[in-house]
């Protein structure tokens, strides 16, 4: 029988990599706290309707990429393809934004999309997500963008580009949409099959198509900035001046529309020059209509999601530091079988005192134990003599020196030399 392997597009994050992920998550967590965001934990599956109505029926995510199934009660359930809709659902359900209150929330975890796997693109991938709910002013957009930039600054990422756009609101977007339909209808023959199909359902997404011929047509498409209503125009100007006040540089890209329908006004992405085709390390923007789309009162929101898998890839490629790799400080070694119990007691003592310690639990001999101790700072050796006089031989593995001390003093001795 062939061994069972992980499904396509998923992978195991093994210890050699997982400590690096912890570093990224801890750095993000501290930055979120510094910016006043608080952590929440959400279900990884939700009612399918949340994404159908929230993300948008005509988006690639909802049309082609969701992991949807009926549970045993016959309800349609979907593994979350993104976090924002779930955060908004939780805010509405738990009244976090009642009476005009605002909430700054962050979370991280796996998302699921049935996409074609490639470098930096998986079917189960991980996002670090921040959402600021209940505030409609542009300062919130600036704060969210600044937060994402600051996480990357702390992680040491270089060669990043912040790209921003405004996608308008329910007042001005229909006008722009019609302009696009008129324009693209006149160039139908030059569009790829997918974009032909998008023409009447979601023409904004044509702007985002990566195919060269569609790109050429899009270059000549009407400019969104000419269609923005006064409110959106003013909002965008405030976002831009806010970013400039904080000293950030950014690029404008009128073709940045992003793949989710709920965006209004600000849309942005942070791109890395070191990722190839899947070059976005984070994306986000404002979504003032999401709450009403999923049946809540009107709650404005702005947020971003950053791709943990991709951030780790870029950091690796750029040689960024992941801090110190966790290492075991002390290895406790039994000289003979009779000493194994005493060794386990000492190991446990170190561990409960917050000193990382390891010992052999599989009955291996002295030599094999010393070999395992090789990557530690100290070996604490116990044999018949040590047991007889309640001592332990402490070998400093970096200089080879060894002394005998009372076993009761071992914790203090190691703590002073860690
Ligand atoms: P989105 O929710 O599509 O705006 O994506 C936000 C971020 O999540 C992107 O900028 C990527 O860094 C990351 N991301 C999205 N889809 C994938 C995927 N299939 N595999 C890995 N990372 C992804």
Choosing from 84, 109, 278, 311 the residue with most ligand 1 atoms within 8 A of its CB, the one to mutate for a pocket test is 278
Residue given tokens 């020059």 in the structure block: 273
Minimal-distance CA residue to ligand 1 atom 21: 121
* Ligand 1, atom 13: closest residue by C-alpha: 307
What is the b/e burial string over 287-301, where b = at least 16 CB atoms within 10 angstroms of the residue's CB? bbbbbebbeeeebbb
Listed in order, strand segments (DSSP E) in 96-213 are 103-112, 124-133, 160-166
Closest CA to 160 of 246, 271, 252: 271
Q: How confident is the model at residue 162 (pLDDT cuts 50, 70, 90)?
A: very high
Count of alpha carbons within 13 angstroms of residue 119, beta-carbon side: 9
Query: Which class is domain 330-416?
Result: alpha beta
- Give the integer Cα–Cα distance in Å for 333 and 346: 10
Rounded Cα distance, 194 and 60, in Å: 10
**Where residue 283 falls among pLDDT bands split at 50, 70, 90?**
very high
Task: Give the right CATH number for 15-172+228-317 from 3.30.930.10, 3.90.850.10, 3.40.30.10, 2.40.50.100.
Answer: 3.30.930.10
Give the tens place of pLDDT for each residue, 2-12: 999 999 999 99
Strand 160-166, strand 264-272: pairing: antiparallel
Whole-number Å distance, alpha carbon 19 to ligand 1 midpoint, is 21
CA distance 69 to 417: 56
Mean pLDDT of 297-308: 97
Mean pLDDT value of segment 312-321: 96
Q: How many CB atoms lie within 10 A of CB 304?
A: 24
Q: Whose CA is nearest to atom 20 of ligand 1?
A: 121
**Which atom of ligand 1 lies closest to the CA of 81?**
2
- Helical packing angle, 308-318 and 138-155, nearest 10°: 40
In sequence order, what are the residues at sequence separation of 6 or more whose Cβ sits closer than 8 angstroms to the Cβ of residue 386? 335, 339, 342, 392, 393, 404, 407
CA 326 – ligand 1 centroid, Å: 29
pLDDT digits (tens, 9 = 90+) for 57-90: 888 899 899 999 999 999 999 999 999 999 999 9
Q: For the chain, give the mean pLDDT.
A: 95
pLDDT for 198 beyond 80: yes
- 51 — pLDDT class (breaks 50, 70, 90): very high
Which residue's alpha carbon is nearest to atom 2 within ligand 1?
82
Contact 38/106 with Cβ under 8 angstroms?
A: yes
Ligand 1 neighbours by CB, cut-off 6 Å: 82, 113, 115, 120-122, 125, 127, 258-259, 280-283, 305, 307, 309-310
Q: What is the torsional sign of CA 133, 136, 140, 144?
A: positive
Query: Is the pLDDT confidence value at 261 over 90?
Result: no
The CA 324 to ligand 1 mean position distance, Å, reads 27
Domain ranges of the chain: 15-172+228-317, 330-416
CA 253 remoteness from chain centre:
24
Q: Please state, in angstroms and rounded to a whole number, the distance separating the CA atoms of residues 15 and 17.
A: 5
Atom of ligand 1 nearest to the CA of 113: 19
Spatial CB neighbours of 177, under 8 Å, sequence gap ≥ 6: 203, 204
**Atom of ligand 1 at shortest range from CA of 282:** 10
Looking from the CA of residue 270, the nearest atom of ligand 1 is 10
Strands 330-334 and 378-382: parallel
The atom number, within ligand 1, closest to the CA of 117 reads 19
pTM of the model: 0.94
Q: What is the pLDDT of residue 18?
A: 97
The pLDDT tens digits for 342-358 are: 999 999 999 999 999 99
With a CB cutoff of 8 Å and minimum separation 6, the contacts of 373 are: 331, 333, 379, 397
Q: Calculate how far, in angstroms, residue 283's C-alpha sits from the geometric centre of ligand 1.
A: 8
The SS3 assignment for 271 reads: strand
Determine the distance separating the centroid of ligand 1 and the alpha carbon of 308, expressed in angstroms.
9
| pLDDT (0 to 100) of residue 169 | 94
d(C-alpha 206, C-alpha 177), whole Å: 11
Per-residue confidence (pLDDT) for residue 202, from 0 to 100: 85
**Of 34-48, 63-77, 246-260, which gets the smallest average pLDDT?**
246-260
Residue with CA nearest ligand 1 atom 4: 283
pLDDT of residue 278: 81
pLDDT of 260 higher than 80: no
Assess contact for 380 and 393: CB atoms under 8 A. Answer: yes
| Closest-lying ligand 1 atom to the alpha carbon of residue 61 | 3
Share of the chain above pLDDT 90, in %: 88
Strand partners of residue 373 = none
DSSP code at position 337: G
CA gap 410, 357 in Å, rounded: 12
**Least confident piece of the model among 35-44, 250-259, 306-315, 337-346:** 250-259
CA 178-182-183 angle, 5° bins? 115
What separation in Å is there between the alpha carbon of 265 and the centre of ligand 1?
20
DSSP assignment letter at 156: T
Contact indicator for 265, 166 with CB cutoff of 8 Å: yes
Collapsing DSSP to helix, strand or coil, 401 comes out as: coil
Is 393 within 8 Å of 381 (Cβ atoms)? yes
127 CA: nearest ligand 1 atom: 8
Rounded mean pLDDT, 150-175? 95
């Amino acid at each position: 029988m062939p061994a069972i392997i992980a499904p396509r597009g998923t992978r195991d994050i093994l210890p050699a990599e997982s400590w690096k992920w912890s570093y990224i998550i801890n750095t993000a967590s501290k930055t979120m706290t510094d910016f006043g965001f608080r952590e929440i934990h959400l279900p990884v599956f939700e009612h399918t309707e949340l994404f159908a109505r929230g993300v948008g029926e005509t988006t690639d995510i909802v049309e082609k990429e969701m992991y949807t199934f009926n549970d045993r009660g016959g309800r349609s359930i979907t593994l979350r393809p993104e976090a924002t809709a779930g955060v908004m659902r939780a805010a509405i359900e738990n009244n976090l934004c009642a009476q005009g209150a605002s909430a700054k929330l962050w979370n991280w975890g796996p998302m699921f999309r049935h996409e074609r796997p490639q470098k930096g693109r998986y079917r189960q991938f991980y996002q670090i997500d921040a959402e600021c709910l209940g505030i409609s002013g542009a300062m919130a957009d600036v704060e969210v963008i600044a937060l994402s930039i600051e996480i990357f600054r702390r992680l040491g990422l270089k060669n990043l580009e912040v790209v921003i756009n405004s996608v308008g609101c329910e007042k001005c977007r229909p006008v722009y949409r019609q302009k696009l339909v008129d324009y693209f209808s006149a160039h139908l023959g030059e569009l790829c099959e997918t974009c032909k199909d998008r023409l009447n359902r979601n023409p904004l997404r044509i702007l985002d198509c990566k195919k060269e011929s569609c790109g050429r047509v899009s270059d000549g498409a009407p400019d969104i900035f000419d269609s923005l209503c006064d409110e959106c125009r003013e909002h965008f100007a405030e976002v831009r001046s806010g970013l400039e006040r904080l000293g950030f540089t950014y690029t404008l890209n009128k073709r940045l529309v992003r793949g989710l329908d709920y965006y209004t006004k600000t849309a942005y992405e942070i791109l890395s020059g070191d990722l190839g085709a899947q070059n976005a390390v984070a994306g986000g923007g404002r979504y003032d209509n999401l709450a009403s789309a999923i049946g809540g009162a009107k709650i404005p929101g702005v947020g971003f999601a950053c791709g943990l898998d991709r951030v780790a890839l870029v950091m690796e490629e750029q040689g960024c530091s992941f801090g110190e790799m966790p290492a075991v400080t002390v290895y406790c070694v039994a000289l003979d079988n009779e000493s194994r119990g005493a060794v386990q007691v000492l190991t446990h003592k170190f561990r409960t005192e917050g000193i990382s310690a390891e010992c052999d639990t599989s009955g291996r001999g002295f030599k094999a134990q010393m070999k395992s101790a090789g990557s530690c700072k100290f070996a604490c050796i116990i044999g018949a003599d040590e047991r007889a006089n309640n001592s332990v031989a402490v070998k400093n593995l970096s200089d080879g020196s060894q002394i005998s001390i009372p076993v009761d003093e071992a914790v203090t001795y190691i703590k002073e030399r860690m």
